[in-house]
Amino acid sequence: MDVTVTSLLCVMVLYICDTSATPAQLNSWIHNRLPRGYSDDRIIRSDMTATDQIIEANEFRTAQIPEVTSFRDGDIAVTTGGHSKVCFARSCQWSKSVDGHVYVAYRLSSDYSSLDQRIIKTGMDQIESGTCVRFVPRTHERDYLDIQPQSGCWSYLGQRGGRQTLSLQSPDCMWSGVATHEFMHALGFVHEQSRVDRDQYVTVIWDNILKGHAKSFEKFKTNNLDTPYDYESIMHFGMYAYSEEGDPTIIPKRNKIVKVGQRTSLSALDKMKINKLYNCEISEDY
Ligand SMILES: [Zn+2]
């Protein structure tokens, strides 16, 4: 068995959802809430990637989360508790049904509004489209995602066995791309710029990173499934992630004008990675 962390890459899909706030309201809200480095003259909401939104939401995460020991890369929950399963190779995958689909059971907290539920389900739809993954409301399944509006946007990496929390705080995490990003973590994928080969494709500007956050830019020992590096992955940090003063923290090496990260949808490569990791047949049925 390949003893590499099977976490993969990603990009985020963000819908700015059906929020009714005006651009002026949003800009004011952003300006008042963003940490250093997210000043609105550098990042305007329409340019924010899903990871920007997650970093912002988690920067203001105030509540202690009893079940989580720490967070890796800002939104991957780590625990030293009884359930700590190390996510090696394919050991943290969701099981595949005989019909060829990978069914991921979930429970959605009753605290969510109908709009919140629509946004979260749009995030699920984006993963289901073009892949063999199917999210199904839990009935009796032992292993399932317990989706709750806890503090911040975060998930465990891969399937842990039994109930596992996936937090999407409302309203901060209510972008469908943010939901999609966290579901990708739960499927076993890490951030794209964490790939073991990322230094061939991007330059991390360590001096520009907000103090105390350099660890969020470490590499994982990933199994890249023979897929190319994907600047457009829903799992890629934006260029200004954790910026100290608003200067870039990640710059693409090969194509200086390529957009890094995204907010609206899984990339074609993200879908390919899901299908490769789970050995899914590519068929018209998807
Ligand atoms: Zn993430």
CA 150 to CA 153: how far, in whole Å?
A: 8
**Ligand 1 mean position, distance from CA 283 (Å):** 29
pLDDT in tens, 247-281: 999 999 977 778 888 787 899 999 999 999 999 98
Tell me: the pLDDT tens digits for 210-243? Answer: 999 999 999 988 888 889 999 999 999 999 999 9
- Determine the distance separating the centroid of ligand 1 and the alpha carbon of 98, expressed in angstroms: 30
Contact by Cβ (8 Å): 195, 225: no
Query: Is the predicted pLDDT of residue 31 greater than 50, yes or no?
Result: no
Active site residue: 56, 128, 182, 232, which one?
A: 182
Which of 12 and 231 is assigned the larger pLDDT? 231
The lowest-confidence range among 22-36, 68-82, 237-251 is 22-36
Instruction: Tell me, in angstroms, the distance from the centre of ligand 1 to residue 154's CA.
Output: 7
Question: Could you tell me the distance, in angstroms and rounded to a whole number, from the CA of residue 121 to the centre of ligand 1?
Answer: 18
pTM: predicted TM-score of the whole model, two decimal places: 0.83
Is 218 noted as a catalytic residue in this protein?
no
